[in-house]
């Protein structure tokens, strides 16, 4: 009976005349990038008059799946998921499809049948990893022992930045990852994993670069290196991903070397696709790729200005 009343309401009150309700299942608030992305999603929803249901999963995929089920139960008009990890999504995506609610994947990818969602709107983490390795190969003449700080295990950017990096590094026999550890994309995680890696490598003896899967882990690691008398940015090349103001400040202070910028203000691209779909458009590429670029100290000041800081 409730379902019949709901369908009747939909027919009497066409979509174009209602405020659209969008459920957004966000990863959490683990990094500066995530905070900036959440802000972009909230501000742009308000600007477009969308009713946004925002759910922060606290980096817990089980909780995130439950939040998506909650959106399905509320019969939202569309669901956007930035998935914590790639696996474990098929059932909940099928439930959304059975309820005729379109799903859009933002930022990180899922490993599921692509017919279960409309499109993914996101940068290429593989390309980011490749860019990092190509830049490092050029900066070191193809010779560098690397220590890697990994993001959340099973998350798409941790998997793909690593494999993208390796794909290009494999062309250079003297570029090797000699140690790695997980820092979960957080500043604190970067601190603790770097503390362990420093003791395992005799304070990074012979190490030429630190590759961190995001800026926050690198910023945590920088403090640990400095406390041990190692000078990141001078004795050790640092490479990270995200390109947000704190890393440009670290570049200007001579403590960070290069970051691959991952755009965080992507809500306009995402809602465009969602709203075009809700208006009836059906032909979208499965993956709408947002471009990434890399930045060093040479353009750090300009990047800070672009971010208005």
Question: Contact positions toward ligand AHR, by CB under 6 A?
Answer: 30-31, 33-34, 107-108, 157, 185, 214, 241-242, 262
Q: Report the distance separating Cα 300 and Cα 243, nearest Å.
A: 9
- Please name the residues in contact with 195: beta carbons below 8 A apart, sequence gap of 6 or more: 224
- Residues 292 and 127: beta-carbon distance below 8 Å: yes
Give the residues across from 144 on adjacent strands. 175
Q: Shortest Cβ distance from residue 228 to ligand AHR (Å)?
A: 25
User: Would you say 149 or 208 has its CB closer to ligand AHR?
Assistant: 149
**DSSP at 236:** B
User: Would you say 165 or 185 has its CB closer to ligand AHR?
Assistant: 185
Q: Shortest Cβ distance from residue 59 to ligand AHR (Å)?
A: 9
Q: Shortest Cβ distance from residue 202 to ligand AHR (Å)?
A: 29
Q: Shortest Cβ distance from residue 26 to ligand AHR (Å)?
A: 11
Phi and psi at 30, nearest 5°, equal -75, -20
- Please name the residues in contact with 38: beta carbons below 8 A apart, sequence gap of 6 or more: 26, 29, 54, 56
Find the angle CA(252)-CA(254)-CA(255) to the nearest 5 degrees.
110
Phi and psi at 128, nearest 5°, equal -60, -45
User: Would you say 108 or 179 has its CB closer to ligand AHR?
Assistant: 108
User: Would you say 246 or 257 has its CB closer to ligand AHR?
Assistant: 246
Give the residues across from 211 on adjacent strands. 148, 239
Distance between start and end Cα atoms, the chain: 54
Q: Shortest Cβ distance from residue 133 to ligand AHR (Å)?
A: 17
Q: Shortest Cβ distance from residue 103 to ligand AHR (Å)?
A: 18
Give the residue ranges of DSSP H helices in 13-79. 32-48, 61-73
Q: Report the distance separating Cα 37 and Cα 96, nearest Å.
A: 24
User: Would you say 37 or 271 has its CB closer to ligand AHR?
Assistant: 37
Q: Report the distance separating Cα 225 and Cα 203, nearest Å.
A: 8
Q: Shortest Cβ distance from residue 159 to ligand AHR (Å)?
A: 11
User: Would you say 161 or 208 has its CB closer to ligand AHR?
Assistant: 161
Q: Report the distance separating Cα 8 and Cα 14, nearest Å.
A: 10
User: Would you say 61 or 72 has its CB closer to ligand AHR?
Assistant: 61
User: Would you say 89 or 185 has its CB closer to ligand AHR?
Assistant: 185
Q: Report the distance separating Cα 20 and Cα 143, nearest Å.
A: 54
Q: Shortest Cβ distance from residue 196 to ligand AHR (Å)?
A: 20
């Amino acid at each position: 009976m409730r379902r019949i009343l709901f369908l009747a309401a939909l027919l009497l009150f066409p979509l174009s005349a209602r405020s659209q309700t969008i459920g957004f299942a966000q990863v959490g608030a683990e990094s500066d990038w995530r905070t900036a992305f959440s802000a972009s999603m909230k501000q742009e929803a308000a600007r477009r008059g969308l009713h946004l249901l925002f759910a922060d999963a606290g980096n817990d995929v089980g909780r995130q799946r439950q939040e998506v089920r909650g959106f399905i139960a509320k019969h939202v008009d569309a669901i956007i998921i930035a998935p914590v990890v790639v696996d474990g999504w098929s059932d909940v995506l099928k439930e959304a499809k059975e309820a005729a609610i379109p799903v859009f994947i933002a930022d990180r990818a899922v490993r599921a049948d692509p017919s279960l969602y409309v499109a993914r709107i996101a940068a290429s983490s593989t390309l980011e990893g490749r860019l990092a390795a190509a830049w490092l190969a050029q900066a070191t003449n193809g010779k560098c022992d690397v220590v890697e700080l990994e993001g959340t295990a099973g998350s798409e950017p941790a998997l793909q930045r690593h494999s993208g990096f390796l794909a290009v590094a494999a062309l250079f026999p003297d570029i090797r990852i000699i140690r790695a550890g997980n820092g979960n994309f957080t500043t604190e995680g970067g601190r603790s994993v770097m503390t362990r890696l420093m003791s395992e490598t005799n304070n990074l003896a012979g190490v030429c670069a630190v590759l961190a899967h995001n800026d926050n882990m690198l910023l945590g690691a920088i403090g640990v290196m400095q406390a041990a008398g190692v000078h990141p940015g001078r004795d050790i090349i640092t490479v990270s991903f995200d390109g947000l103001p704190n890393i440009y400040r670290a570049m200007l202070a001579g403590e960070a070397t290069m970051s691959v910028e991952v755009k965080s203000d992507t809500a306009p691209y995402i809602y465009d696709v969602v709203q075009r779909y809700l208006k009836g458009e059906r032909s979208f590429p499965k993956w709408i790729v947002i471009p990434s670029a890399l930045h060093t100290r040479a353009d750090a000041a300009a990047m800070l200005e672009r971010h208005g800081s």
